[in-house]
Structures are given as C-alpha cells and as structure tokens.
Amino acid sequence: MVRRDLLTKTQGLSSKTQYPIPKTQNLRPKTLLVTGGAGFIGSNFIHHIITEHSDWEIVNLDKLTYAGNLENLQDTENNPRYRFIKGDIADRKLVGALFSGEYFAANSLTPNTQDLRPNIVVNFAAESHVDRSILDASPFIETNIKGTQVLLEAARTHWLGSKTQDPTSNTQDLRPNIFLQVSTDEVYGSTEKGKFTEESPLSPNSPYSASKAAADFLCHAYWKTYQLPVIITRCSNNLGPFQFPEKLIPLAITNALENKPIPIYGDGLNVRDWIYVLDHCRALDFTLQKGKPGEIYNIAANEERTNLELIHRLLDVMDKPQSLIKFVADRPGHDRRYALDASKISRELGWQPNYSFEEALTATVDWYLNNESWWRKIKRGDYAKYYARMYSHR
C-alpha cells in the first residue's frame, strides 16, 4: 500500500529532491543562519540545502525546546558545512555575537579563518502549536515576536551599519543579504470562501497566529523603515518526516499504529490545505535565490481536505479501522478553513509543488512506519503529560 520508492528508510529524503533549481550568479558564498533548524521544517530544510547546494554554509541556532530534536539531523552533524549552536533567538548578546563573528572566533568554529557571519537568515524558530498557545501564550510572545525582533535588529546593525538606505534605490543593490521570515497562512485568519492572496488583510485568531502576524508586521516595518532586505513566506499546513506528534497527522499516524483513538475536534469539517514539507523547503530555496526583498510569497499545493476526509484516507492507507476516530470537544476559536492563492510564487519564481497529496500522505506514513524508535522515544517523555492534559477530559 505504502510507496517505498518515495523515501529512503532512514532520513525520508526522496528521489524527487533531485530537480533543477536555478543557480543565481555572481553572489558571494551563502552563509545561512537557520534558526529552529532542529524542528520539523527546519531540519528538512537543512537536509535539502546540504544536498542541493555544495557551497552553502549552515549555522543552525536552536534552543532545543520540546519540539527541537538533534536526532532529526543525525546524518548532517558531521558535515563540514554544518554547525549547530544551542541558543535562543531572543538572546540579544548571543545573536549579536553570531552576526559580528565573535562567537565563532571565541569557540574555535572558524578553522582557516573561514567567515561564518551570516549573510542570509532563515527564521524557522518559533513556538508552533496552536493548542499550546491556547494553554499559555507567553513563550509564543517571547520567541515568535521578541525573538524575531532580536534577529531583525542584529541583521540591521550588522548588515546595514549606520547606512540609511534610500527607499527609492534599486533593491538588487542590497543583495546578497536576505532575511527570510518563515510565516504561515494562519495570519490571514479563516475564510469559508475564496482564497487569501498576499494582499489580504491579516486577521489572526489564535495566540499562535497573532504572534506570527506580529512578527510579520515587524519584518515589514524593518523593510519599510530601514530597507532591511526582508522576504516573508506564508505556507499552508505541512506534512512529512520529523513532525512532532502533537500535530494532527503524526498524532493520528502514531495513535493508529498503537491502535489508540484519533481525536477529531468538533465536527471534523474544518479544512486545511496540505503540502509536503519537501515542497515547502524547495519553495524557500527558490525564494532565497529568486525572491525580491520586501515581497511576500504564499506557498501552497492546493490540496484542501476536511480533517475528517484526511483521517478517513489516512486510515485506509494504513489499513486501520475507521472506528479509531473519536470526536472530541472543539479547539477554542478553531479556524474553519485556511486557503491560499499561491499563484504569485509560481508566476514570479517558477515554483510548483512536486508531490500530490496522496504521494505526500503515503510517504509520510511510510516514514513513521520506518522510524518507530524516533516517535516512540518522544511519546514516552514529557509528551505523555501533555497528551493527558490536552485530551484526557475532552
């Protein structure tokens, strides 16, 4: 049932990652500060970049919260183009020392006087789970808002210095620096009809999405005020390898493998638009190479499903009974439908998703089947307490 050709057993990187990506000419080597690289999308992105760009350096700054897991990067940890630093994006001193290069010198991380000061930031670091933001919004404010501002300010100080950029000047002059803010479709809020474009007003409904929207506004402000070359991407719901099993799909797959009930909030008719994580990573790569500073790009694969449709199909793929579905009390403020118009990134940057929903779903199921020790270890830890708190009285 599950297509083995889509993934390699250990890391889940598919042969479909071998595709032509346009190479930008005449730029100095890229040194990426990837924040939150030990999480779900960040670790997939690091695998992608290491595979696709033999001359790019990566510094991964991650606080290793409950969602950060260095096992996601086991095959990368000894790569000479990759360094891991445990730290908080809201730590002004640390972030400043990374941008100035002092950190690398002080920690002997720069053999051959290699310059590891970032010229690109890809900011994945975030508290990312809506349900946790409903329990306690504080860490979302700290990381998603304050942390983003600390990164923006360090980039401004070290990339622009005391220069005030002329807003009418050719933005190409600001390259090769790019501050890529990885945002989400949730900032637009919920809509029953139509699709959100990059021009749609922001209307976030959860503490999580409000904190991401605040970060987007800060990014926009740093572009408008200082001409810091910021690009914002807003992607729909991802699925794929290494997703922490608090999110619907890995929670459902792992519960089904354990023959445990799958909790569906409310009537199960909320709609999400799903994209395979490797397609998201490729879209970010296109954006780094061809995106324009000051622009926003929606990213989606046009694969809308109600939660119920999704779980019915998942149980079919897994050959598990539909009776595992258990309706539970709804999420407070639950957004009914997310839907993105992603025509801009396809028109302007030439990106298209490579994976259909069916391929993404089978590939994801396959990964969790083949990486049981990864998710079982997580489920034995603090996760069990979280799960009881979230679901036992629901």
Side-chain half-sphere of 381: how many Cα atoms within 13 Å?
A: 13
Binding at 338: pick from ligand NAD, ligand DAU, none (beta carbon under 5-8 Å per type)? ligand DAU
Does the footprint of ligand NAD cover residue 141 (CB under 6 A)? no
* H or E element, residue 182: strand 178-184
- Quick one: 227 or 296, whose CB is closer to ligand NAD? 296
**Residue 319 CB burial class (10 angstroms; 0-12, 13-18, ≥19):** exposed
What is the distance between the alpha carbons of residues 53 and 71, in angstroms, rounded to a whole number?
22
Binding at 65: pick from ligand NAD, ligand DAU, none (beta carbon under 5-8 Å per type): ligand NAD
Rule CB under 6 A: say whether 280 interacts with ligand DAU. no
Minimum Å gap between C-beta 250 and ligand DAU is: 8
Do residues 120 and 37 lie in contact, with contact meaning Cβ atoms separated by under 8 Å?
no
Q: How many chain residues are in contact with ligand DAU, going by CB under 6 A?
A: 19
Name which position in 6, 33, 38, 252 contacts ligand NAD (CB under 6 A).
38
Report the site for ligand NAD in 41-60 (rule: CB under 6 A).
41-42
Question: What is the spatial distance between Cα 79 and Cα 175, in angstroms, rounded to a whole number?
Answer: 27
Pick from 26, 81, 53: nearest CA to 284: 53
In one-letter notation, the amino acid at residue 227 is Q
Pick from 66, 265, 374, 386: which binds ligand DAU (CB under 6 A)?
265
**Binding of ligand DAU at residue 305 (CB under 6 A)?**
no
52 phi and psi angles, rounded to 5 deg? -90, -25
Shortest Cβ 230–ligand NAD spacing (Å):
15
The nearest distance, CB 188 to ligand DAU, in angstroms, is: 10
Shortest reach from residue 35's CB to ligand DAU, in Å: 15
Site for ligand DAU contains 44 (CB under 6 A) = no
Report residue 70 CA to chain centroid gap: 16
- 21 interacts with ligand NAD by CB under 6 A: no
Tokens read off for 168: 């009418």
Among 62, 88, 153, 185, binds ligand DAU (CB under 6 A): 185
Tokens representing 339 are: 């839907």
Contact string (CB under 6 A) for ligand DAU, positions 85-124, x = contact = ----------------------------------------
Question: How far apart are alpha carbons 330 and 267 in whole angstroms?
Answer: 8
User: 274, 310 in Cβ contact below 8 A?
Assistant: yes
Residues annotated as catalytic are: 185-186, 208
**Minimum distance of ligand NAD from residue 160's CB (angstroms):** 23
Which burial class, exposed, middle or buried, applies to 216 when counting CB atoms under 10 A from its CB (0-12, 13-18, 19+)?
Answer: buried
Q: Identity (one letter) of the amino acid at 389?
A: R
Q: Which of 247, 282, 305, 337 binds ligand DAU (CB under 6 A)?
A: 247
Task: Count other Cβ atoms within 10 Å, centred on residue 51.
Answer: 13
Strand positions, DSSP E, 226-341: 230-235, 237-239, 262-265, 271-276, 296-299, 304-306, 325-328
Let me know how long the chain is.
394
* Residue that is written with structure tokens 């794929």 in the block: 240
270 binds ligand DAU (CB under 6 A): yes
Binding piece for ligand DAU, criterion CB under 6 A, among 82-90, 262-270, 313-321, 377-385:
262-270
Q: Write out the two tokens for 132.
A: 């946790």
Instruction: Pick one of 40, 84, 276, 367: the residue that binds ligand NAD (CB under 6 A).
Output: 40
- Residue 129 binds to ligand DAU (criterion: CB under 6 A): yes
List Cβ neighbours of 22 (8 Å cut-off, separation of 6 or more): 286, 289, 290, 350
Window of 74-82, 115-123, 224-232, 257-265 that interacts with ligand DAU by CB under 6 A: 257-265
Of the residues 57, 88, 153, 186, which one makes contact with ligand DAU according to CB under 6 A:
186
Residue 103 interacting partner from ligand DAU, ligand NAD, none (CB closer than 5 to 8 Å by kind): none
Return the number of other C-beta atoms located less than 10 Å from residue 185's C-beta: 25
Chain residues in the site for ligand NAD (CB under 6 A): 35-36, 38-42, 61-65, 67-68, 88-90, 124-128, 143, 147, 182, 184, 212, 235, 237-238, 244
Chain residues in the site for ligand DAU (CB under 6 A): 128-130, 184-186, 236-237, 247-248, 251, 263-265, 270, 272, 307, 331, 338
